[in-house]
Structure 1
Amino acid sequence: MASPSEVASKETEKAETESNTSRAPTSINMELERRAVRKLDFTILPVMAMFYFLSFLDRSNIGNARVAGLEKGLHLADKQYQIAVTVTYVPYIAAELPANLLLRKIGPRLLMPSLLTIWGIMVTLQGLVSSYGGLVTVRAFLGLAEGPMFPGIVLYLSGFYTRKELSIRIALFFSSASLSGAFSGLLAAAIQKMDGIGGRAGWAWIFILEGLFTILMGITGFFLVPSTPRDSKFLSAEEKDAIMARLERDRPSIQPSDEFSMKEVLRSLRSPHVVVVFVLFFMTGATLYGLALFLPSIVNQLGFSPDRTQLLSVGPFAAAFFFTLITAYWSDHFRSRGVASAFVGIIAVAGWALYLGAPNKHVAYGALYLMVPGVYAMAPVLSAWMANNSEPYYRRATSVALGFIATNSGGILSTWRFPTKEGPKFTKTTIMNLVFSCLLVVGPLGNAYYLSRKNKAKKHPGYREQMLAKYSDSKSPDGGVDAWMDLGDRHPDFVYAL
């Protein structure tokens, strides 16, 4: 089986065989472009994958700490634990849109490592708290620092890769979330054995050690993250030119000539395809974060011991890692976001249905191998879809941020859907997630149909004449850069990804 980097490289060549504008030059050095993109794959993606790995690990390891004795150690009631988890998402959501709009101005090279370092400090402090109030306070600051990372990475990568090859790249870093779920169980199983060392409980050491590693990676990140392809230390001048040329062929509005305007924010909010994917993200977030935060508790309540629970939590997340990569590759290969999302939704439907009707704990545990992959593989495809269909930059920044605001709003809902007294089946929540998964089959297909109709409308001569009329002074048949910057994804030559 080909490695992820080889898969990504093959997709790069395939992606360049088709351009969505008429501005492509007659001669393209494909070998130079492949070499340049391969360098990006090996220098940018691993860093982003590590950043998101730590983001998901540091946010969800509270579930492992709970199994390791967090509630007992801090004398928390079930409701207090849920509040501590919920409070993370409020500042998390509030930070996403402003941070995305500021990403270009501050620069990814400065903003991303700074956020990573700050939240590493917050995670470490979680291991030092001694009260419910202290835990809630630290979790709130953790959410504020972590919120910008996921939408920021998606927006960041959309400035390095073409639209048609973005899904597999997002999957390559997002799949680290699946790995974080797997490693979190393994790490927690080992770290909790430090119980009593230094006068700290095992659950506290989970936070302290993982937080210190995050701080170290944050400091290292200042030397590894370029703000743009032209800032890369690993590309030659010729390779930088090749990367920028292919990005401009893919979408002329990639050039940073636009300024921030509330008009672009409002245009994103008024785009039907953005609103549809927003709703899909909400349902994805409700199911995804529920499993990320409560899967150890679910397994534990099925009747497995705490030590075995930490280890049994690994398998479903490991399966999700591979399924996420396969789905994203399929999505890019067939230029399909809607059908790929619907297929993933069917897997999730099967998992939740099986869990609901499981006659024993072994079948219920087996259902997790459908539920977790079926939920996790949805996010990269939807993320690429949102980034693919919004232009220019600030409209895209808004749309991507809105997607993750919806995801984390779903995360807030999930924190209240797994009360201990309703375990291990959590019947009401399982039914809710089953309904959401069914809608995640229907919704993407409906959105793909709508975008298909929009693409057909753009081919009508009357549409082109009407949209480009005010740019008739331009010598370019597509209205020039001004038309692309003003119209963005409404431009007649912009083809929506289906």
Structure 2
Amino acid sequence: MPYSYQSIPSQETHAVEDPQSAVDAERRLVRKFDTQLLPFLSFMYLFSSLDRSSLGNAVLDNFEQDIGITPGQFNTCVTIFYAGFLIFQIPSNMILKRLTARRWLPTLMFLWGIVACCHAGVKNYAGLMTLRFFLGFFEAGFFPGVLFFLTQFYKKDEMATRIALFWGSTVAAHAYAGVLAYGILQLRGSHGMTGWQWLFLIEGIPTVLMALIAWFYLPASAATWSRLTPEQRILAVKRLEVDSPLDHGHLTLGDLNATNKKQAFKALTDWKVWLWMVMFFCGSVPNTSISNFLPLIVRGMGYNDKLSANLMSAPPYLCAVVVMICLAYSSDRHKDRAFHAVGGAIFCLVGYALLCFLTTRDALYAAVCVAVAGIFVINPIVNAWLTSNIAPDMKKSVATAMAVSANNSAGLVGSNIYRASDAPRYIRGHSINLGFLVAFVCLAILQRCLLQRENRLKEAAIKAQEAEQQPDDIAAIEVLGDESIHFKYRL
């Protein structure tokens, strides 16, 4: 299996073991991660997505009229969620290292679960603004925290599939949310409560309970996980050392100090990181907009009954789960990021183009299924593409934080492009998303070409070094990270 760094001569000779036995042992270890850790984390994130998207379903149950807000104020409440997200992103990353992921992730989940439950008692615009801000505030650190956590268990060429499987929980949550809302909103009037009050409580209370379970279930690391055998714990550490021979542990912004500040500064000045940030932004505007407004878009197609609009918003997300996991698996298998990300974007782009030009209800619904199916492919693959191409650790940590911030900033745009005045077709919103997707495709192809050029330059430098018989300076390579001629960019 190819690694980011080209082979550097080892000073030690290790005993030869049966290759097939080693492969089987590693396969069993990864299967244990896939069956006992990843599904649990995905289930936790499912609740995050449910609590985040519940507002979009509540609006179909006279929510705006019940608390006395206008459609414009509703959009502002959707937007303020992302403001809270952005503010707490980096502080959460720093706290993560000090408290460990096994403690910080359940803590965040417990806090946002309490805030989600409080939505059931909201009375006015100010109250809703406050709750949405703190919901975003506490959810901010969960996704990047899980990404950091997964790097302690999986190798680079395994990450895109795992991120997609994990990200699939949020897509499945959107589908499940529509079906769940269909049933819960029918409780309107029961025990003197509205349907949307029941919705917030029924989706919020399990979040709090799940957080308490997670506090005791999550491991600190693979090396200390009691569910692994002693041999598996050793293998879990060794295989990550082989995958990234010059990485010494996983750093977050909580480890920033005088020694590694130079690495952090390099992330801030690296053109590759900024290009990925713009790519994340362009690819995430359609994602955030559709996540918040799909029930309203579906209602505009002619599914006028509030319950039907919720129910019919589920199938597009089910299509998205299948497409996303298949493309992410293919991306890992073929060790390609750029073309797979572009493929998902083009799939989505075609859907939005059809939404702009088709007119019949059935055709529009088919088009929205196509659009949604391609939206969720982008983030998992681009996440894996970025993290496998940035080194050393502190530079990677800062670059990841920058990319996630760009991703969340897209919500400030995505939450405002579907306006009530554009109903029922929402042509303006679809056109804006179309433009961002075209930009994403162009940027992804440009990034691939630039990285390919860098690889050619590094190969030429290595040949020149070999011709002059210059020895490798391992210490220099560790400092240079991805700028080293021995670091090969993954395309």
Contact 1:19/1:249 (<8 A) preserved: no
Aligned residue in 2 for 1:219 = 212
| 1:492 equivalenced with 2:485 (yes/no) | yes
| 1:440 equivalenced with 2:433 (yes/no) | no
The whole-number CA distance in structure 1 between the counterparts of 2:110 and 2:69 is 28
Aligned residue in 1 for 2:7 = 22
Contact 1:158/1:387 (<8 A) preserved: no
Residue identity matched to 1:413? V
Q: Please list the CA deviations of residues 156-200 of structure 1 after superposition, one character each: whole Å capped at 9, or x if unmatched.
A: 212221111110000000011110110000110111122123322
**Structure 1 residues 207, 484: CA separation in 2 closer, same or farther (over 3 Å shift)?**
farther
Cα offset, 1:442, TM superposition: 1.9
Aligned residue in 1 for 2:344 = 344
Spell out the pairing of 1:16-165 with structure 2 (5 A cutoff).
16=1, 20-22=5-7, 27=17, 29-165=22-158
Structure 2, gaps ≥5 residues long: none
**Structure 1 residues 51, 18: CA separation in 2 closer, same or farther (over 3 Å shift)?**
same
Find 2:190's aligned residue among 194, 197, 201.
197
Cα offset, 1:44, TM superposition: 1.6
**Structure 1 residues 224, 192: CA separation in 2 closer, same or farther (over 3 Å shift)?**
same
Aligned residue in 1 for 2:418 = 418
**Structure 1 residues 18, 277: CA separation in 2 closer, same or farther (over 3 Å shift)?**
closer
Q: Please list the CA deviations of residues 354-407 of structure 1 after superposition, one character each: whole Å capped at 9, or x if unmatched.
A: 000012222111111111011111111011112111222222222222222111
Cα offset, 1:465, TM superposition: 5.5
Aligned residue in 2 for 1:3 = none
**Structure 1 residues 194, 300: CA separation in 2 closer, same or farther (over 3 Å shift)?**
same
The whole-number CA distance in structure 1 between the counterparts of 2:450 and 2:149 is 27
The whole-number CA distance in structure 1 between the counterparts of 2:70 and 2:263 is 45
Aligned residue in 2 for 1:247 = 240
Deviates more, 1:22-31 or 1:296-305: 22-31
Cα offset, 1:257, TM superposition: 8.2
Aligned residue in 2 for 1:230 = 223
Q: Please list the CA deviations of residues 40-67 of structure 1 after superposition, one character each: whole Å capped at 9, or x if unmatched.
A: 1112211221122112221111100111
Could you say what secondary structure the match of 2:489 adopts?
coil
Contact 2:250/2:393 (<8 A) preserved: no
Contact 1:252/1:484 (<8 A) preserved: no
Contact 1:299/1:313 (<8 A) preserved: yes
Could you say what secondary structure the match of 1:256 adopts?
coil
**Structure 1 residues 463, 212: CA separation in 2 closer, same or farther (over 3 Å shift)?**
farther
Deviates more, 1:159-168 or 1:309-318: 159-168
Residue identity matched to 1:432? I
The whole-number CA distance in structure 1 between the counterparts of 2:195 and 2:335 is 47
Q: How many residues align?
A: 474
| 1:393 equivalenced with 2:393 (yes/no) | yes
Structure 1, gaps ≥5 residues long: 1-15
The whole-number CA distance in structure 2 between the counterparts of 1:142 and 1:463 is 54
Residue identity matched to 2:156? R
Cα offset, 1:98, TM superposition: 2.8
The whole-number CA distance in structure 1 between the counterparts of 2:385 and 2:349 is 21
Contact 1:52/1:176 (<8 A) preserved: yes
Contact 2:348/2:374 (<8 A) preserved: yes
Contact 1:316/1:369 (<8 A) preserved: yes
The whole-number CA distance in structure 1 between the counterparts of 2:275 and 2:295 is 32
Aligned residue in 1 for 2:263 = 264
**Structure 1 residues 377, 221: CA separation in 2 closer, same or farther (over 3 Å shift)?**
same
Aligned residue in 1 for 2:277 = 278
Residue identity matched to 2:204? G
Residue identity matched to 2:487? F
The whole-number CA distance in structure 2 between the counterparts of 1:485 and 1:94 is 32
The whole-number CA distance in structure 2 between the counterparts of 1:461 and 1:370 is 45
The whole-number CA distance in structure 1 between the counterparts of 2:383 and 2:192 is 44
Contact 2:4/2:489 (<8 A) preserved: no
Q: Please list the CA deviations of residues 297-331 of structure 1 after superposition, one character each: whole Å capped at 9, or x if unmatched.
A: 11112221111111100010000000000010111
The whole-number CA distance in structure 2 between the counterparts of 1:478 and 1:188 is 61
The whole-number CA distance in structure 1 between the counterparts of 2:370 and 2:417 is 20
The whole-number CA distance in structure 2 between the counterparts of 1:254 and 1:40 is 21
The whole-number CA distance in structure 2 between the counterparts of 1:81 and 1:290 is 14
The whole-number CA distance in structure 1 between the counterparts of 2:60 and 2:472 is 60
The whole-number CA distance in structure 1 between the counterparts of 2:267 and 2:34 is 30
Residue identity matched to 2:147? V
Cα offset, 1:285, TM superposition: 1.6
Contact 1:355/1:364 (<8 A) preserved: yes
Cα offset, 1:485, TM superposition: 4.0
Deviates more, 1:188-197 or 1:309-318: 188-197
**Structure 1 residues 160, 253: CA separation in 2 closer, same or farther (over 3 Å shift)?**
farther
Residue identity matched to 2:99? I
The whole-number CA distance in structure 2 between the counterparts of 1:402 and 1:51 is 24
The whole-number CA distance in structure 1 between the counterparts of 2:136 and 2:317 is 23
Q: Normalising by the residue count of structure 2, what TM-score does the alignment of the two structures yield? A: 0.92
The whole-number CA distance in structure 2 between the counterparts of 1:398 and 1:123 is 30
The whole-number CA distance in structure 2 between the counterparts of 1:140 and 1:464 is 56
Spell out the pairing of 1:334-413 with structure 2 (5 A cutoff).
334-413=334-413
Cα offset, 1:147, TM superposition: 0.6
Cα offset, 1:76, TM superposition: 1.1
Cα offset, 1:462, TM superposition: 5.9
| 1:173 equivalenced with 2:172 (yes/no) | no
Could you say what secondary structure the match of 2:88 adopts?
helix
Aligned residue in 2 for 1:328 = 328
Find 2:176's aligned residue among 173, 183, 186.
183
Contact 1:68/1:203 (<8 A) preserved: yes
**Structure 1 residues 166, 478: CA separation in 2 closer, same or farther (over 3 Å shift)?**
farther
Cα offset, 1:126, TM superposition: 0.6
Cα offset, 1:290, TM superposition: 0.4
**Structure 1 residues 68, 162: CA separation in 2 closer, same or farther (over 3 Å shift)?**
same
Sequence identity percentage:
29
**Structure 1 residues 488, 17: CA separation in 2 closer, same or farther (over 3 Å shift)?**
closer
Cα offset, 1:262, TM superposition: 3.2
Cα offset, 1:138, TM superposition: 0.9
Q: Please list the CA deviations of residues 329-360 of structure 1 after superposition, one character each: whole Å capped at 9, or x if unmatched.
A: 11111111000011111101110110000122
Could you say what secondary structure the match of 2:216 adopts?
coil
